[in-house]
């Protein structure tokens, strides 16, 4: 035994991983917290920032191809109380969209529907103010629904198809159960549940925390 070279660290890691899997940690889903943000068409980018303007990526987000931009804007609703420094996210979209929290809606005096991102038909109007111009959206302001991104492999592992709704338990400082969580399955997605700041704060969940689907 004295002549055997045993990598104690590797053994410890393997045992720890096995224990986690036994306890069901493999079913845990990481959480990302989504603050208010704006998606823009190229037409609206040029109205707000100037002719020919291109957005400036500064940070990749968790989902491939999505990124935060250097640019921020001001949004205004019927209250005329502006919310400033709202981050623009890329890439360019086919329709401009503003995602806010319910708390933000009280400040703006808007009543946006809870929707899947991209589903803006009949949603709340909002005004976006930039350094070079103003865009007034007749529709486009929503509160994003609670949702989970999954790859095709994750969908098969959990036995869930794109568009299904699940119930999720969180184990933060204030244990919470979330109902009607939409699952989006796509080959390019990475496993993550997205909550807005209201939901995250209410449940005491921070970015990088985890939740679990209730079987």
Query: Within a domain: residue 24?
Result: no
| 61 within domain boundaries | yes
The SS3 assignment for 203 reads helix
pLDDT tens digits, one per residue of 22-54: 434 568 999 999 999 999 999 999 999 999 999
Structural domain includes residue 12: no
Cβ–Cβ < 8 Å for 120, 97: yes
With H, G, I as helix, E, B as strand and everything else as coil, classify residue 170.
strand
SS3 assignment, position 23: coil
The 10s digit of each residue's pLDDT in 110-133 is: 999 999 999 999 999 999 999 999
Q: What is the pTM of this model?
A: 0.83
Max avg pLDDT among 15-29, 77-91, 168-182: 77-91
Mean pLDDT score of the chain, rounded to an integer? 90
| The domain boundary residue, chosen from 125, 144, 163 | 144
Residues 65 and 116 in one domain: yes
Q: Which helix (H) or strand (E) holds 20?
A: helix 8-22
């Amino acid at each position: 035994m004295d002549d055997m070279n045993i990598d104690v660290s590797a053994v410890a890691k393997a045992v720890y991983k096995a224990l986690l899997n036994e306890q069901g940690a493999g079913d845990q889903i990481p959480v990302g917290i989504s603050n208010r943000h704006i998606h823009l068409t190229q037409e609206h980018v040029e109205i707000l920032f100037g002719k020919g303007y291109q957005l400036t990526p500064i940070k990749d987000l968790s989902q491939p191809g999505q990124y935060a931009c250097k640019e921020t804007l001001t949004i205004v609703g019927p209250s005329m109380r502006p919310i400033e420094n709202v981050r623009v996210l890329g890439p360019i979209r086919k329709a401009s969209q503003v995602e806010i929290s319910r708390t933000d809606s009280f400040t703006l005096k808007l009543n946006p529907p809870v929707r899947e991102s991209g589903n803006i038909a009949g949603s709340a109007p909002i005004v976006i103010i930039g350094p070079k111009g103003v865009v007034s959206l007749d529709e486009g302001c929503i509160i994003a629904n609670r949702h989970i991104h999954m790859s095709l492999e994750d969908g098969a592992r959990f036995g869930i198809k794109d568009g299904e709704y699940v119930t999720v338990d969180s184990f933060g400082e204030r244990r919470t159960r979330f109902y009607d969580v939409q699952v989006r399955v796509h080959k390019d997605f990475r496993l993550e549940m997205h909550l807005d700041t209201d939901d995250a704060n209410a449940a005491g969940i921070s970015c990088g925390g985890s939740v679990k689907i209730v079987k």
